[in-house]
Amino acid sequence: MNRIPLPTLFFSANRLVGHGVETLVRTVGSLKGIFCDAAAFEKLPQDAIAYEVSSYLPVPEGSIGSLYFGITRIHPHLAGNEYMMTKGHFHTKSNCAEYYWGIEGEGVLLTMDTAGKCRAELCFPGSLHYIDGRLAHRMINISEQIFSFGACWPADAGHDYQTIAETGFSARILKLNGKPCLVSLNNNKCTQLESI
Ligand code: S6P
Ligand code: ZN
């Protein structure tokens, strides 16, 4: 009798594991230049893991109509009063949207349009976030544990890191009086984000 084949991909301890899964590890040192307080950043252990991305990329990059899938785990570090975060990027193709969803810990999805307008959404286990293809996106760990989230995006989206490296996000998530706040770098306006 033929057996129904077992799946080859699994969520295990909030990592993606299985045949063909690739893991990228970004150290703290590799994120030089993205935090507001450069001196505080230098005091962090530069070899420590900032975040890991395990991805399943079953088709060549650029394949139209195909999907990629990944799980990112951001470790809890503070560079001064700025929480650990992903580099953030625009998609090269602005008609390629993405889904993020919270798995473990608590974070913030920060998006920014091409005019520099930022928006923040709390992300927690079970929350689902649709990211318009025209928006830059970055995730920030506001918890004291690993914050992990899933992502699904088109294989032809492409990644533009250069624009963010040059201009940065115009708003940051900072820990002020012990609480996460969205701080606009243009006018120093702070909006407190209610932690769940
Ligand atoms: C890809 C998707 C995620 C990120 C990952 C790391 O489109 O948004 O898999 O690549 O969360 O973030 P970043 O900004 O360093 O690529
Ligand atoms: Zn993306």
The CATH number covering residue 122 comes to 2.60.120.10
Residue 143 included in any domain = yes
Residue 172 included in any domain = no
What are the tens digits of pLDDT across the range 56-104? Answer: 999 999 999 999 999 999 999 999 999 999 999 999 999 999 999 999 9
Distance 196 CA to ligand 2 centre (A): 25
How far separated are the first and last CA of the chain, in Å rounded? 51
Residue 150 included in any domain = yes
- Give me the domain span that covers residue 79: 9-167
Pocket test for ligand 1, best of 86, 93, 110, 160 (most atoms within 8 A of CB): 86
Count: domains in the chain = 1
Distance 153 CA to ligand 2 centre (A): 7
Q: Rounded to 5, what percent of the chain is helix, strand, coil?
A: 10, 50, 45
- The alpha carbon of 196 is separated from its chain's Cα centroid by a whole number of angstroms, namely 19
Look up residue 8 and give its two tokens: 């080859």
Integer Cα distance of 125 and 129 in angstroms: 12
Find out whether 140 and 84 touch, Cβ atoms under 8 Å: yes
Residues of the chain with confidence (pLDDT) below 70:
195-196
